[in-house]
Amino acid sequence: MYFYDFNGRLLFIDSGKSKNKNLLINTFDLLGLSTSDIAWFLATHGHKDHIGGAKLFTNAEKFIHKDDFDLLSSESKLDFIDVKKFNKKLKKSYKYEIIHLGHHTEGSIAIYDKELKALFIGDHICFFGFPIPDDNLVYEGEELREKQKYLIKEIVEKPNSYKENNLKKFFEGLREIKKYDIKYLCTGHGVILKDKIDKFIEELISLNIYN
């Protein structure tokens, strides 16, 4: 979960599970804010652990890629708008870009902040299950990079894995994000990696033995 303040208008990216809504409310209280203060909610994809808390943002416009509409409940479908409309809004006022990746889910996206050189990548790359070091939410994370490379290598080398895990889309997504100047890689689960992101992405791409 991430949020930005745009001259008093708040953008929230991904919301966690609905069962954790009290934790989200308490966090807003600590910041002196209310969930009703959110102007825009943006989902990197339609899994419940990324959109479950979105119903708390009662005053927000909510956006998701149209290819993930099928993952939404009937109620949520009434609340969400195709992210392309948000992209048009951003380009007019802010230095943001929406990138369709389509691997983790068909509608998975990344959000690139040109000013901060930050990429919010959802679960295309994440460190789910890896503990977050004390006071190190944002760091180089060399050991995590090595673990990620080892994990991808294992997946790639499994029989039939390329098709079963849609690795073609995964590597296409990596090649797409490599076009951007990234200083901070903001993952869907775990830490934010900083520095030498281009090198890390290139190392992941090199694991594609089918290319």
Judged on CB neighbours under 10 Å (0-12, 13-18, 19+), 205 is: middle
- Res 189: pLDDT: 87
Is the pLDDT at 146 greater than 70? The verdict is: yes
**Contact present, 24 and 16 (Cβ < 8 Å):** yes
Place of tokens 């109620």: 75
Tens-digit pLDDT profile for residues 34-93: 999 999 999 999 999 999 999 999 999 999 999 999 999 888 888 999 998 887 766 666
- Res 91: pLDDT: 62
At 39, phi and psi to the nearest 5? -90, -35
Q: Are strands 9-13 and 118-122 parallel, antiparallel or unpaired?
A: unpaired
Average pLDDT over residues 129-149: 86
Dihedral sign, CA of 97, 102, 104, 106? positive
Report the distance separating Cα 52 and Cα 66, nearest Å.
17
Q: What is the mean pLDDT of the chain?
A: 90
- Res 15: pLDDT: 92
Helix (H) or strand (E) holding 62: strand 61-64
| Reported pTM | 0.92
Tens-digit pLDDT profile for residues 95-137: 788 999 999 999 999 999 988 999 999 999 988 777 777 778 8
- Res 153: pLDDT: 95
Residue 28 corresponds to which tokens in the numbers above?
């807003």
- Res 92: pLDDT: 62
Domains in the chain: ranges and CATH: 2-205 (3.60.15.10)
Tens-digit pLDDT profile for residues 172-188: 999 999 999 999 999 98
Q: Quick one: which of 184, 44, 7 has its CA closest to 113?
A: 184
